[in-house]
Amino acid sequence: MSTPTIPPFDPANVQGDILAGLPKRVQHYLLFQIGPDVRAFRKRLAVLIPQITTTTQVVGDRAKIAENKKAAADAGKAPGLLKLSGVNIAFSQFGLTKLGITDNIGDTAFVGGQLNDAQNLADSGVVGSDGKFIPNWIPAFKQQLDGVVIISGDSELTVTATQAIVKGIFNVGAAKATMHEVQTIKGTVRPGKEKAHEHFGFLDGISQPAVKDFDKCPHPGQETVRQGVILCGRENDVDARTKQPVTRPPWALDGSFLALRFLAQLVPEFNTFLEQNPITSTGLTPAAGSELLGARLVGRWKSGAPIDVFPTADDPAAGVDPARNNDFRYTFPDDQTTQDRCPFAAHTRKTNPRADLEDPPISVSNENRRIIRRGVQFGPEVTPAEKAAKKTLHERGLIFAAYQSNIVNGFQFIQHSWANNQNFPPKASAGVPTPGFDAIIGQDGNAITARTLVGTDPSNQGAPLALVTEWVIPRGGEYFFSPSISALKSTFAL
């Protein structure tokens, strides 16, 4: 039997948030259940499909944004926001089953669902009377979710209006509704100079991989991955352990798995920890020592400048320069055995170890561990009352969204085997103390003892630092599959 010919890559067949990212100032995640009339839902899905934003459309929208900014700059004015909106849809395993799609899609994490994976990810929780683990999540994520509609735009007004159109298509809230809204999670890009920074204050989304034959001009240090790392059925869609191609149903081609996480951030508590534990052994003032500690926990200064290149002082210009803010590999002299420049447990190093694995003596490719991160911040800015109390009073954080062709290869592995693994990167064999937990997202479930890591103080690299508490708290999540446009038409809709 001959192998089916895979059609050429067409960005118009890929939903827009995956490779290009829906432009947004505001983003809603409409969590839904299908039904009760599944056939009616599938018919209404056919009506939604023309509203779904493709990668080709996103590329065009981003070109319009660039033209608008240039025109404003040429006129000596601040650019106004273009009225743009985007819509994508993805389904959980529950959703596929309800739709009667029974093919094995080839990803055990997706099939099991994130609720069943929560204990493996080391989310905190309790074991119920039935022996099942119950994470400390909000109710919306503890029930069956069939899918999510992602709606992005330039303003709350635009996104709310677009969401109303989507809900109208499925008669949400009406007697003959074909979709039930479980909850809408709302995110907003932070204001002013904090735009593109997450709530702890660090510039985010810098080290995205470039995708072969889509991203034409990778920046220095930006790794190019083959399309199958992100899109199912394309080149290098393989099991990271065996290197063998993953068997997928034909309709999965050009789809991508979405790992969605609703993450609360304890900002006042994080800032207080930095204030109470400044690095002063290098002669810095307490304020400068606190700033250095934060940079060494994250792996970057708040500007985005990597500490592997700028280990002692921030360089804000480099932080926002794509030609410099990702151009490093942890390969300075002796960098494999010392933490002079960057701790082994720094968040950026734990989640993308670069030369720590790719160079001798280990020489393992990280390509199939790469993910494309989207998502958006949620919640208000820290209030004066919270600053005074040094305590979180209003929930805020990150709606984390990551795309990959294989959750087991990507998000699940990064969280479980890298961020939560005290022995990663594998430095102990070189006579280096155990690195410890990822300082930002590393989790130890319900452990009584504090998480620790080493290397934060460059003058005393073996000294452990107890992190006291977790500052990033998972409040829910699910695994979804974002089908291609052709799959939506041929397999999902009627």
Q: Kindly list the catalytic residues.
A: 204
Q: How far apart are CA 413 and CA 239, in angstroms?
A: 12
- Report the distance separating Cα 439 and Cα 350, nearest Å: 9
- Can you state the percent helix, strand and coil of the chain, rounding each to 5? 30, 20, 50
The strand ranges marked E within 113-169 are: 125-127, 133-135, 147-153
- 396-406: b or e for each residue (b if 16 or more CB lie within 10 Å)? bbbbbbbbbbb
- b vs e for 215-232, b when ≥16 Cβ sit within 10 Å of the residue's Cβ? beeebebbbebbbbbbbb
Q: Which residues contact 292 (CB under 8 A, 6 or more apart)?
A: 278, 279, 282, 284, 312
Question: In terms of C-beta density within 10 A (0-12 exposed, 13-18 middle, 19 or more buried), how is residue 105 classed?
Answer: buried
CA distance 318 to 309: 10
- 210 by Cβ neighbours in 10 Å (0-12 / 13-18 / 19+) ranks as middle
SS (H, E, C) 181-237: EEEEEEEECCCHHHCCECCCCCECCCCCCEECCCCCCCCCCCCEECHHHCCCCCCCC
C-alpha to C-alpha distance for 88 and 29, rounded to whole angstroms = 10
Q: Alpha-carbon torsion 196, 222, 71, 20, what sign? A: negative
**C-alpha pair distances (Å), 286 with each of 80, 200, 281, 283, 445:** 41, 19, 10, 9, 32
Chain-centroid distance of CA 243 in Å reads: 24
- DSSP for residue 491: I
Cis amide prior to 36 (ω within 30 degrees): yes
User: Tokens in use for 74?
Assistant: 């040429």
Instruction: Please say whether the beta carbons of 437 and 420 come within 8 A.
Output: yes
Q: Which 3 state secondary structure label does DSSP give 26?
A: strand
**The residue to which tokens 């394309």 are assigned:** 234
